Structure 1
């Protein structure tokens, strides 16, 4: 149950959001006070429970691409939510994998904006959760207020459902959207979007996106202290498995064998370990794949200034505590570690699987060993180049038998700081009294390359107030009613999306 203080906190944040009517310079125009927000605030308050229920219903529908679990149902539910929010055309887009969605909302506006959604989520181990991951329970979280705990709560169903709540509020207030919307959604983001291009490359989708000034996705951008950052791009990624097996190698057992035979039989598990050690420096912190840094672009002086400014305004101890770490690699200081975060490609082991991993020992010589990996890429690397270099590196060292099974991946993204998208983001954040931290690129990845690259070549990024955490981890949450006056709950985040659409409408 919400406390009285929690309810007052939610209303207080909503009442105060965007107050002051500061001049927000957007291109050649000035969005002075923006629209009259009172009708929207009233409608958001009125529809609060409806918005929360919508998000809970979405989380309660599992949609895990990696397990092919609930995907058709997840796609259908997302399409229904788009229709309910006012999209006039909503089309299921088949691919060689999970289906995508293409939707349009024509508001008769002079400007059109592209949007990206994902409806899939990461896998879960329910035993690790304090609240079942697909029950979407509302719980009190100390320091944050009332939150929804569930898989997809913040990544990305929470922010996306909040944006849909904004569309409902605009329509409920009797207003028209200030921009037209072109929506593309996929169900494979959490497996590195292997078939998303099959959605976007369809002629009717390319034509619609070509009319957009930019493409963006909703995001719970606020930190626990209320600050926000604007990322001017994101790293690319390749997800893959390296597999060593006796059957493919021609050495070692074709299946698990009693471990006493190790004295006379080769081990595919050790074979994999030996191959893995060639991919990185001795401490595991730098990629050592042949030619890996050939096209890595170093940080510019301006990008270094951005990072230094962001570091100066952050609490290093708090960042470490939130991440659960005690030291940065090689005992670097915060600034040097932050520069690495933005500038360095990575070779990461997500998981190692071989033989028996249950309770107690089981004396076997595994016939197969698998390393699940992700490789993060920076400008000017490409996913195609990186895959080729990895395969060539292994082959050169005699590891042709190691199978390289790429499951998905894409290039890095970049968006100009003076683009209309970034100027609109700055305007809204500053209008709320928040000076955003500018970051050269997100250390994580999303398939924005499909928008920023040819043939579309559009600015692309993220925007949104609100806070959540625990993406890809147990106990993922999204703040609904904030107890922190510096952090918005779902209602304040809803209003931020309305303001953002009006800001985009005023840019050129």
Structure 2
């Protein structure tokens, strides 16, 4: 889940203060819920560690069915009355409902898959969930999925369990959908959402969230109003498909009179971007790109004025923005430009030293980032047509997953409930017009559901997709909540959703 880019475009401050959440009049039973969350702390962390120990890795065919069964049991244990596994053409999804007899319904999206990992790169086993000291911050749990997204999701389930064990009625009904393929761009998730029973349940919701832990070291949370879409694909050049060059690796001395599928791929890749290697050059690529609105530019400008360019560059490990643009221009570009990125190049001999071969096959792993109003089908069609027009029609375009961008109105009841919850908790928060990262929110914000969607939560973590991924469990920083604080905030959010929906009604 690609949930948050290194820095997010378009933000504006809405609240400041400490991070202690408190109740409002009309939140019956909240004290009991908070007490239940605190009493459940050790058991909650144990549940998180056990979940981390069972990784579902979609692109490696690891624990597909086991992950779905585990996800199903977790939501049943948290209080959902029914849960079922929804089979797809790939990894199964999970659908569940909780009828609290409330007037309003909130939808919840989970991913139960994680990125793969190399244990040799970790300071402790990636599936152990070891608790370590994090200087200046507190105690953190290290493990694959700790922050992306099993940690925040476990905190949400802990809040639900607290309602259940304390006998306090949930203020809203819940609809739950989960997938095990988010990390490969959700190729089959729409098959879950379009099931008649699932679709009918989601249509009753006021909006949908994915739990997140996005507090900065200063305690700030960024609320997302949208995210770029993503398409993952592989471009494959082979002597077999091309009809030229070898169909297998041959001796490199033959390069003088034998064509190279590797150079063929490189020449094709060169046509996808301009001479600077940055700007997309696919025919018609910008036909449906929607410019930033005046309001979005206003938010970006306000963020840049209050931001710290040097810190952003240090975090990213860079010394220049593209074309040496100023901070504001670079921030506009991050939010509004669709991209073509090479994740990796694979061909021939990849071991130490050299090996004199002329490879018969080469592959480029590509991701595309899309902005409104681009679509997955549109960009794939344009990519194929672009390659064919230039004599590269033999290159295979293997699309492994993808979806379009999503956008939610900042005035929607869901976003207002998020803002109000954080304001009451005295947690500083920002609005982000669009994340450069991606998640399949368009499945909900697009037709036929047209639901408001967002990522929500507090707490802090890092290292998503990287070694030593972590989630803060016990915070020594008064500006940042620990695990229990995350769970309490979710409980308060459920109360606030009911309150906000009531005002609208």
TM class by smaller structure: over 0.9
1:105-133: CA deviations, max 9, x gaps?
Answer: 11111111111111111111221111221
- Asked if structure 1 preserves the Cα contact closer than 8 Å seen for 2:19 and 2:479, the reply is no
Give the TM-score of the pair, scaled to structure 1. Answer: 0.93
* Aligned pairs for 1:46-85 within 5 A: 46-85=39-78
Q: Does 1:362 align with 2:362?
A: no
1:234-288: CA deviations, max 9, x gaps?
Answer: 1111100000011111111101111111111111111111111111122222111
In the TM superposition, residue 34 of structure 1 has moved relative to its aligned partner by 4.5
1:347-403: CA deviations, max 9, x gaps?
Answer: 011111011111111111111100001000000111111110000110111100110
- Asked if structure 2 preserves the Cα contact closer than 8 Å seen for 1:310 and 1:437, the reply is no
* Aligned pairs for 1:15-414 within 5 A: 17-19=20-22, 34=27, 37-414=30-407
Q: Which stretch of structure 1 is more off in the superposition, 496-505 or 311-320?
A: 311-320
Cα RMSD for the two superposed structures: 1.4
Within 1, Cα distance between the matches of 2:137 and 2:386?
48
- Asked if structure 2 preserves the Cα contact closer than 8 Å seen for 1:295 and 1:379, the reply is yes
Within 1, Cα distance between the matches of 2:466 and 2:123?
12
Within 1, Cα distance between the matches of 2:221 and 2:365?
32
- Asked if structure 1 preserves the Cα contact closer than 8 Å seen for 2:228 and 2:370, the reply is yes
Within 1, Cα distance between the matches of 2:308 and 2:47?
36
Partner of 1:507, secondary structure, is helix
Partner of 1:244, secondary structure, is strand
1:152-207: CA deviations, max 9, x gaps?
Answer: 11111111011001111122222011100000111111111111111111111111
In the TM superposition, residue 317 of structure 1 has moved relative to its aligned partner by 2.2
- Asked if structure 2 preserves the Cα contact closer than 8 Å seen for 1:310 and 1:438, the reply is no
In the TM superposition, residue 423 of structure 1 has moved relative to its aligned partner by 0.2
- Asked if structure 1 preserves the Cα contact closer than 8 Å seen for 2:19 and 2:481, the reply is no
Gaps of 5+ in 2: 1-17
Q: In structure 1, which of residues 412, 415, 440 is the aligned counterpart of residue 433 of structure 2?
A: 440
- Asked if structure 1 preserves the Cα contact closer than 8 Å seen for 2:19 and 2:426, the reply is no
Moved over 3 A (4+): 31-37
- Asked if structure 2 preserves the Cα contact closer than 8 Å seen for 1:349 and 1:374, the reply is yes
- Match of residue 478 from structure 1: 471
1:56-103: CA deviations, max 9, x gaps?
Answer: 111110110010111211111111111100111000101111100110
In the TM superposition, residue 35 of structure 1 has moved relative to its aligned partner by 5.0
Q: Does 1:462 align with 2:455?
A: yes
Partner of 1:73, secondary structure, is helix
Gaps of 5+ in 1: 1-14, 22-30
Partner of 2:206, secondary structure, is coil
- Match of residue 13 from structure 2: none
Q: Does 1:427 align with 2:448?
A: no
Within 2, Cα distance between the matches of 1:163 and 1:355?
46
- Asked if structure 2 preserves the Cα contact closer than 8 Å seen for 1:39 and 1:173, the reply is yes
- Asked if structure 1 preserves the Cα contact closer than 8 Å seen for 2:85 and 2:93, the reply is yes
Q: How many residues are paired up?
A: 484
- Asked if structure 1 preserves the Cα contact closer than 8 Å seen for 2:131 and 2:140, the reply is yes
In the TM superposition, residue 32 of structure 1 has moved relative to its aligned partner by 5.5
Give the TM-score of the pair, scaled to structure 2. Answer: 0.93
- Asked if structure 2 preserves the Cα contact closer than 8 Å seen for 1:65 and 1:191, the reply is yes
- Match of residue 27 from structure 1: none
Partner of 1:225, secondary structure, is coil
Q: In structure 2, which of residues 486, 491, 500 is the aligned counterpart of residue 498 of structure 1?
A: 491
Within 2, Cα distance between the matches of 1:317 and 1:53?
39
